[in-house]
Chains A and B, each alone.
Chain A
Amino acid sequence: MQKSLHLDPNKCTGCLQCEMACAWENYRSFTVAKSRIKVFTFHREGRFVPYTCTQCDEAWCMTACPVDAIRLDPETGAKIVLEPTCVGCKVCTIACPFGTINYVAQTGKVQKCDLCGGAPACAKACPTGAITYVDSDWTGFGKMRQWAGKTDTNPATV
């Protein structure tokens, strides 16, 4: 079964534990500037929104890469960057409609979410359940359940 990161902004408090967990996973550092998942604060709306790569099936980044440095991980469905192959041309960062693949000056390569090989550190670190790792086919399950709960199970009989 393939799994996907499921992001629920309504549960996010903006604590950035996810960003630290991501940076720790990849850099052994808590520096959130290196995180591949970002939490955005919309202050005037009072909203916190975590955002990262959705692992598109036909991934723009993968298609655009001139050196074939972005590959599909068949196990997880993640599109992963092969660092030794990446030449840092940044074409993928232009191709991605969501901005979720970015250049890292420190390495001269690009980076994106790779689902941590199937055990995403961000989801593990999230204290509120705003980030979960769920069945890819059922990312709508929670919402369906919520609406199902509103169904009138005792309708007035005619």
Chain B
Amino acid sequence: MAWTKNVLRVNLETGSCTTEPLNLAWAQDYLGQRGLATKYLVSEIDPKVDPFSPKNKLIFVTGPLTGTMAATGGRYSVVTKGPLTGAIACSNSGGYFGAELKFAGWDMVIFEGASPKPVYLLIQDGKAELVDAAHLWGKTVWETEEMLKRFHQDPQIRVAAIGRAGENRVLYAGIVNDLHRAAGRSGVGAVMGSKNLKAVAVRGTRTDAYTMADPEAFMRATEAGKQVLAANGVTGQGLPTYGTQVLMNVINELGALPTRNHRDIQFEGAQAISGEAMHTKRPTDGKANLVTNGACFGCTIACGRISRMDPSHFSIQDKPQYQGASGGVEYEAAWALGAANGVSDLETLTYANFLCNEDGFDPISFGATVGAAMELYELGLLTKEQVGFELPFGSTEAMVKLAELTARGEGFGKEIGLGSKRLCAKYGRPELSMTVKGQEFPAYDGRGLQGMGLAYATSNRGACHLRGYMVSPEVLGIPVKMEPQATEGKPAMLKAFQDLTAVVDSSGLCLFTTFAWGLSDIQPQIQAACEGDWSEERLLLVGERIWNLEREFNLAAGLTGKDDTLPPRLLKEPAKTGPQKGAVSKLPQMLPEYYRVRGWTPEGVPTAETRTRLGV
């Protein structure tokens, strides 16, 4: 069976680690990973719980294809109630950690309660124990991983940890595994910090933990899938060469690149921070920012960026720890650390990105919050005295300082750690926060791409590009081309994308495969791995069920249809330049139709009929 059928339940209050059988009936309804952990969470916590209360739970979860030869089959997710949004939080990561957890024999680890003192969880195959982490508290993710490997004399341990951002409850702190892969969004790392849990260290060597339902069919299906990825222009060429940064110039030219806290929709510095720029030799040292591309576990795409900074850059001159290669900027990070606040120095972006990895915080929410702070500063609502330094749009010095201060919770970094919603509210201009449900937008403007605007407004974890990637139809023409400003057909297309995405996020696969793979490529791989009948229709039903379960959780947590909205800037201030000039978001035209195709009431609540149909 593709599931290990084992759940590890860790009570941080009492220190107990117990094994329980996976609820296989739920696995048939929710597949794994995102869906299955959401089902567990929803069944076990009060939706109204304070995310930082010991009563909130934190779940690390793999999918049935995690730790298999399916291309990209190495993903895991972290599911909890998020402190940034008060909604369901589910953050997905690659690297090698997820597969290792599976090899050790676990589908899922559920953390409950809070530890009275800092601890880490050590998993060695079937053996799990909480270990004192007093010596690790206050350390970065990078230091923590190195110390754990050295202490246990095992360089093959895989580590997922929080840095100081998680310890200090930066509201968008993430969990970083394998040094630079992250369950990055919605503050899952802050919840981990609130539980005094520093890290999960795992070594998995079991050969009998799980099996494929039909091994021969599985190898055939995964081989066919790999060929599709290799032959596709995006997954076979664009992503390995430029990473997701392949998009920077494309989105800018299309007029959908939010700039300076969404004041503008095109960035004059886009070229300088693009994927192409990462390949260009620097005049200073004659080397390119990009060293190589890198893959996560099992990934035949290899979009990861490995970068090395210019050692003479002002941010790292006396800091050898940043002069080696490490995880470089991908598109969302380059946008958030760059265009969102007008910074066009690739080296500054790379430095800030290193710090996001080193101390575990989300570059999207961080960069976007800095952008909001810069606007408040330019409006005179924040002063140099309050910040400690000047904070104009485009300041590389300010970006570097804030990246250093935020995780440590020092100076004005403490306020940046609150996220843009709380920051803007504090300084009297809540409407300047470019967020949905408290979470910052990623790198596409909802005025320039109407479908993305709808995707942001309706995402269950707040503004997010990974819940329904309408960029695919609106920019790339996948699976069909839809004009950016059109609204017709987009609610239905978005629903299809959201449901399919929920399936992919629950399988152990990476969403990026869907640039090339349709459900008909994914279905045979799931079918061959998993017991049961996994038709395409059933998988889409599973996706829809997951989406509705998340929605029900959010409604029970106190969110309503009124939260399915966008900031007034996107609804009222027309785009100033470019092909989308004059556009505002047409959300009000699309939202009622979206609710209809979802089978929800005009208030955005699933109807009794929908609930019955999905069994939620």
Binding site for B on A (CB under 8 A): 13-17, 20-21, 23-24, 27-34, 43-48, 106, 125, 127-128
**Stretch from B249-257, B295-303, B459-467, B586-594 that touches the partner:** B295-303
Report the minimum CB–CB distance from B490 to chain A (whole Å).
Answer: 35
Contacts known (A13-B295, A24-B69); A31 close to B204, Cβ less than 8 A: yes
Report the minimum CB–CB distance from B90 to chain A (whole Å).
Answer: 25
CB-CB under 8 A from B300, the residues of chain A are 15, 17, 127
CB-CB under 8 A from A128, the residues of chain B are 302
Contacts known (A46-B291, A46-B308, A127-B300); A27 close to B207, Cβ less than 8 A: yes
Give the docked Cα–Cα distance between A30 and B298 (Å): 10
List the B residue with the shortest CB-CB distance to A128.
B302
Number of A-B contacts (CB under 8 A): 86
Report the minimum CB–CB distance from B232 to chain A (whole Å).
Answer: 13
For residue B559, CB closer than 8 A to chain A, the reply is: no
CB-CB under 8 A from B304, the residues of chain A are 13
Total contacting residues, chain B, CB less than 8 A:
40
A44–B103 contact, CB under 8 A? no
A43–B324 contact, CB under 8 A? yes
For residue B67, CB closer than 8 A to chain A, the reply is: yes
Contacts known (A21-B69, A28-B215, A31-B207); A14 close to B325, Cβ less than 8 A: no
For residue B561, CB closer than 8 A to chain A, the reply is: no
Q: List 8 A-B contacts (CB under 8 A).
A: A13-B299, A17-B69, A20-B298, A29-B208, A31-B206, A31-B209, A44-B324, A45-B325
Give the docked Cα–Cα distance between A40 and B192 (Å): 30
For residue B571, CB closer than 8 A to chain A, the reply is: no
For residue B228, CB closer than 8 A to chain A, the reply is: no
CB-CB under 8 A from A32, the residues of chain B are 99, 103
Report the minimum CB–CB distance from B17 to chain A (whole Å).
Answer: 21
B205–A34 contact, CB under 8 A? yes
Give the docked Cα–Cα distance between A128 and B301 (Å): 10
Give the docked Cα–Cα distance between A28 and B207 (Å): 8
CB-CB under 8 A from A16, the residues of chain B are 96, 297-298
CB-CB under 8 A from A43, the residues of chain B are 179, 324-326
B299–A15 contact, CB under 8 A? yes
Contacts known (A27-B207, A31-B205); A48 close to B298, Cβ less than 8 A: no
- Contacting residues of chain B (79-138) with chain A, CB-CB under 8 angstroms: 96, 99, 103
Top 5 A-B pairs, shortest CB-CB distance: A44-B324, A46-B325, A46-B291, A29-B207, A15-B295
Contacts known (A13-B302, A32-B103); A44 close to B326, Cβ less than 8 A: yes
A33–B156 contact, CB under 8 A? yes
A15–B298 contact, CB under 8 A? yes
Give the docked Cα–Cα distance between A32 and B295 (Å): 16
For residue B395, CB closer than 8 A to chain A, the reply is: no
Contacts known (A14-B294, A20-B298); A30 close to B326, Cβ less than 8 A: no
- Contacting residues of chain B (359-417) with chain A, CB-CB under 8 angstroms: none
B69–A30 contact, CB under 8 A? yes
CB-CB under 8 A from A106, the residues of chain B are 207
Report the minimum CB–CB distance from B6 to chain A (whole Å).
Answer: 15
Name 13 extra pairs, CB < 8 A, besides A13-B293, A13-B295, A33-B103.
Answer: A13-B240, A13-B302, A15-B300, A29-B209, A30-B99, A31-B103, A31-B205, A33-B205, A43-B325, A44-B324, A45-B291, A45-B324, A125-B69
Give the docked Cα–Cα distance between A29 and B71 (Å): 16
B226–A15 contact, CB under 8 A? no
A23–B207 contact, CB under 8 A? yes
For residue B230, CB closer than 8 A to chain A, the reply is: yes
- Contacting residues of chain B (282-299) with chain A, CB-CB under 8 angstroms: 291-299
A44–B325 contact, CB under 8 A? yes
Give the docked Cα–Cα distance between A110 and B552 (Å): 54
Give the docked Cα–Cα distance between A15 and B229 (Å): 14
For residue B507, CB closer than 8 A to chain A, the reply is: no
Report the minimum CB–CB distance from B515 to chain A (whole Å).
Answer: 16
Report the minimum CB–CB distance from B107 to chain A (whole Å).
Answer: 15
Give the docked Cα–Cα distance between A76 and B571 (Å): 69
A127–B69 contact, CB under 8 A? no
Give the docked Cα–Cα distance between A128 and B295 (Å): 11
- Contacting residues of chain B (317-341) with chain A, CB-CB under 8 angstroms: 324-326
Give the docked Cα–Cα distance between A34 and B207 (Å): 8
